[in-house]
Structure 1
Amino acid sequence: MESNLQTKKDQLFAKALVLILKPLVKILIHNNITYIGIQSLLKKAYVQVAEAVFGLPDKKQTDSRISLLTGIHRGDVKRIRESLQDQTFEKEIKASLGAQLVSVWLSHTKYNDESGNPLPLFKMASEGAPSFEELVLSVSKDKHPRSILDDWVNQRLISTLEDGRIMLNDKGYVPEDDFEEKLFFAGKNIGAHLEVVASNLESQNPPMFDRAIYYSKLSEESIEKLESRSKKKMMALLTEMNLLARQFQEADEANDKNSGKIHLGAYFYKKNEQDDESK
């Protein structure tokens, strides 16, 4: 009986895993990454997770144990562990800084009107206050405000008003043309969601919030209405929570013992089922 239950569980897990992998494989093929190409990345991911998550208390993690946990040859484990480095690429730094800047612009009272909406900013501090230059320097002293400003104009993240001030085009950092930055956020967002799924499958208590609704047989008009309303509601929630989280962070960050992180996201998926009869 127990064996049958395990077999059924394995079958259900395999079915769910295929559903998870299909969109990923679509991305891989679209970007000319073959099955052979993904193997080395999977090996690295297995080794990293085994080392970071599955260690034994008060014992140093060994190549042999990681090999046992992952099924990867011990020689490969040794090579991967020696080569792994926490590299932060320029695009990741740029994307992270951009998201921080938008977050401050949306949530800090200095850059908001009385209703909590983001104010238009002067480009440089010499032109007036509040300014984009001041915003950038409040987050990072390492990046030149003018360079970021030019990049944001190019990315169509901001618009220039008639009086010369600049305004956010949308309430979020969503680079339109920079594929590398899009990849950074894709990994960050999908990775966080999968961490929620992993935690809940492990029956961690209390479970993390993960809810969705599913409907089919809808007209294009109905989908457009649902999408429009969903975007407004989700953006309102994200804006509200961004403001609240910013306030908490400013109050908590002085204490070195506070190291907690959160990741709150939202998405809306739509598809014409006739485009993919297999689903």
Structure 2
Amino acid sequence: MSSNSPDLFSDVLADLLAPLAQALVAQGMTLASATEALKQALCNAAIVAEGEGVSDSRISILTGLHRKDVRRLRSHEPVVPGRKTANRMALLIGHWATDPDFQGQDGRPRALPRESADERPAFNDLVRRLRLDMAPGSMLQALIDQGAVFQDEDGLLHLASDALVPEVGAQELVAAYHATLATHMAAATQNLLAQKGARRQFDRVLRYSHLSDASVAELDRLARDEAQSFLTRLNARAHELQQRDAEHGARGRFAAGAYILPTPDAAEKDAE
């Protein structure tokens, strides 16, 4: 990286932090809690860059953290209450909605019994397949409490139609924000820090301006349809491979995502 990279990075830092700051304010996080999280992240980053044996003094020099803070931060991992449960629920909902074994002939997630009375897999089978390290009964209750699943008069379990779009503030929404943004940031940061000739992660974006609201809406629909189709196909194949590889103790990870940001004409909106 060039010698003026810090200055270049400072120029864009405010833009990078702006949407994150909006989320912090919306979630009720103060400067003190945000600063503590940043301190932990800087300490962790220095350890990753220098190795586990790096001294507290070296971390302090690299990050500007006081050595007392470094000693404290190295002694514990921050815990986010509810994150594991929320991530598990999001994973289960995603598989229920897209796995062919749990879909009806119309391609929609079918109603599931708790235990299977025939050859078709049931809710408990779904929990076991995903290896969620959580009892099916506990997972079901968590989903019901969040309004993601409801039980009909016949005892069948239904995935709520809006389960994939959690309410504002729900743990699932925070978990989805964490999973998608953290993964994208990791890929983009690897590309930023990659040495010349090193393999770079695939990270592309299309940007167009001077579009009418109708054109923005058309591109939005097209992008959503194509992205959903791609992710559905990829998910089906990834699930097959995971089922096969997990039996052999494989530990590799893979992530792929898509984002769409349509912005109608601001001038027209302001005039309304």
Instruction: Call closer, same or farther: CA 1:39–1:93 in 2, change over 3 Å.
Output: closer
Q: Which residue of 1 aligns with 2:171?
A: 180
Structure 1 position 54 matched with structure 2 position 45:
no
Matching residue of 2:111: 121
- Confirm whether residue 202 of structure 1 aligns to residue 193 of structure 2: yes
Q: Which SS does the other structure have where 2:59 is aligned? A: helix
Give the 3 Å change call, closer, same or farther, for CA 88–41 of structure 1 in structure 2: closer
User: Could you say what secondary structure the match of 1:124 adopts?
Assistant: coil
For structure 2, the 5+ residue unaligned runs are none
- Map 1:73-222 to 2 at 5 A: 73-82=66-75, 84-85=76-77, 87=79, 89=81, 91-106=82-97, 108-112=99-103, 117-125=107-115, 129-139=120-130, 140=132, 142-145=134-137, 148-149=139-140, 152=143, 155=146, 157=148, 165-168=156-159, 173-204=164-195, 205-222=198-215
Shift of 1:197: 1.1
| Cα distance change on mapping 1:155 and 1:172 into 2, 3 Å | closer
In the other structure, the counterpart of 2:59 is 66
Structure 1: give runs of 5+ residues left out of the alignment.
none
The range that moved more, 41-50 or 126-135, is 126-135
Indicate the SS of the match to 1:222. helix
Displacement after TM superposition at 1:173 (Å):
3.9
**Once structures 1 and 2 are overlaid, which stretch shifts more, 91-100 or 38-47?**
91-100
Q: Counterpart of 1:33? A: 29
C-alpha displacement of 1:171 = 9.7
Of residues 188-197 and 35-44 in structure 1, the stretch that sits farther from structure 2 once superposed is 35-44
The letter for the 2-side match of 1:26 is Q
The answer to whether the 8 Å contact 2:43/2:70 transfers is yes
Size of the aligned set, in residue pairs, is 264
Cα deviation per residue 1:225-271 (whole Å; 9 max; x = unaligned)?
22222211111111111111111112222333x32211211111133
Cα 1:183/1:276, change in 2 over 3 Å? farther
How far apart, CA to CA, are the structure 2 residues paired with 1:217 and 1:119? Answer: 40
Contact 1:103 / 1:242 at 8 angstroms: preserved in 2? no
- Name the SS of the counterpart of 1:68 in structure 2: helix
Backbone CA RMSD of aligned residues: 3.4
Note the C-alpha offset of 1:174.
Answer: 3.6
Residue 231 of structure 1: aligned partner: 224
Percent identity between matched residues is 27
Structure 1 segment 250-269 matched on structure 2, within 5 A: 250-256=243-249, 258-269=250-261
In 2, Cα distance between equivalents of 1:267 and 1:168: 24
State TM-score, norm by structure 2.
Answer: 0.79
Q: Equivalent of 1:44, from 40, 45, 58?
A: 40
Change (3 A) 1:243 1:130: same
TM-score (norm 1): 0.78
Q: Do the aligned residues in 1 keep the contact of 2:43 with 2:73 (CA within 8 Å)? A: yes
Aligned-residue offset at 1:60: 1.8
SS in 2 for 1:125: coil
**Letter paired with 2:192:** L
Asked whether the 8 Å contact 1:105–1:111 carries over to 2, the reply is yes
1:142 counterpart letter in structure 2: M
Alignment check: 8 A CA contact 1:157 1:174 kept: no
Structure 1 residues 34, 68: closer, same or farther in 2, change over 3 A?
same
Distance between the aligned counterparts of 2:28 and 2:206, measured in 1? 33
Whether the aligned pair in 1 keeps the contact of 2:115 and 2:124 (CA below 8 Å) is yes
Preserved CA contact (<8 Å) 2:114 2:156: no
- Partner SS for 2:3: helix
